[in-house]
Each structure stands twice: as structure tokens, then as C-alpha cells.
Amino acid sequence: MAGKDIVTIDEPISSAQVVAYMKDPSSIDLTVFVEDPDAVAARIMRQTLDANSAEALFGEPETWKAEDHIGEPLQFHSVAWLPSERAESGGFPIFGVFSVADLSGETHVLTCGAKSVVQKLAKADAEGWLPRWLAIVKAEKPTRAGYYPLDVVAAKVGTDGDGEPF
């Protein structure tokens, strides 16, 4: 068994760690500590300095839930992994905060903790396969527990004569 990595909320969880966790959950302990105020301040400063428009600098970012965007082609650019509070009730212990673009090129923040979505996007990010046009899909039949699992698949996106997606 590999050594245990202690991942705190102050240190980002890498996609490689998520993939390792998926292969062997006992290989990594996900331990959530209280956020260090200096780490929070540094993250806010990075977001401020990385803003690429006045709207991004002064706007309140809207967070999309994956369930609200089923079937929409989205270009997944990057991901930040966070420990999930759902783990306490038996849910998957990691969720992703994804930077995505819609067909108009507008960027959004999308969250998802569905196991298959986390698994596929962690692997894609760890391998350097992002950005990529993908779509969140929902199973047609529920599980025995009544849930409709989510997955992520390649989106069918073409381009017009100018190279713009449609």
C-alpha cells in the first residue's frame, strides 16, 4: 500500500491524487481542517489578479450545478477538487469545481460530485486531456436507491465556417 497523503482544504487536491484515490481509497486520507486565513487571502488575491474582465472582477460568480445543465455541450477547461461534506452521509468524498465555457464562449463555474464524472474528469485532467467539449448526461433508469446517476461524455459540437462552435 502506498503512503498516506494528508490533504487539507488549504492544499489543493490534485487530479492525480483523485485518480489514486479512485484506484485505492485507502491510499489517501482526505482530512479537512479549518481554512488558514492566509491561504484564503492568497486565493482571493489570485482570483482578483487573474480576472480577465470587469464583470469577472466585480461580479458575483454564479455557480452552476451539473444537474441543471444535463446534455449541454460545455468545454471543460480546468478543475479544483475539494472534499465533500456528503462523505459523512455515505456519499462520494470528493467533488469538482470546474471552469467551463458554453457555446457562446462565456465562462462559468460548474460543480459536480458524481462518482463517474469525478473519475473521468480527474483522469482527463491528470493526463492533460483538457480542455475538451463534454456533456453531463443522466441515466434513464434510477438506481435501487432511486438516484439517477450522472456521467460525462464527449459532446457533439461542430464548427461553422468561421470555426465558431455550434
What distance in Å separates the CA atoms of residue 132 and residue 99, rounded to the nearest whole number?
11
What distance in Å separates the CA atoms of residue 53 and residue 67, rounded to the nearest whole number?
28
pLDDT at 25: 80
Q: Percent of the chain, pLDDT > 70?
A: 72
- 30 near 20, Cβ under 8 Å? no
Segment 98-125 shows an average pLDDT of 91
Measured in degrees and rounded to the nearest 5, phi and psi for residue 19 equal: -60, -45
Q: Which residue has the higher pLDDT, 4 or 157?
A: 157
Greatest Cα pair distance in the chain: 53
| Count of helix runs (H) and strand runs (E) in the chain | 4, 8
pTM above 0.85, yes or no: no
Bridge partners for 81 per DSSP: 13, 96
Residue 155 has pLDDT above 70, yes or no: yes
Residue 60 has pLDDT above 50, yes or no: yes
pLDDT at 54: 80
Q: How many CB atoms lie within 10 A of CB 27?
A: 15
Helix (H), strand (E), coil (C) string for 118-134: HHHHHHHHHHCCCCEEE
pLDDT in tens, 92-107: 778 888 989 999 888 8
Segment 47-65 shows an average pLDDT of 76
pLDDT at 83: 75
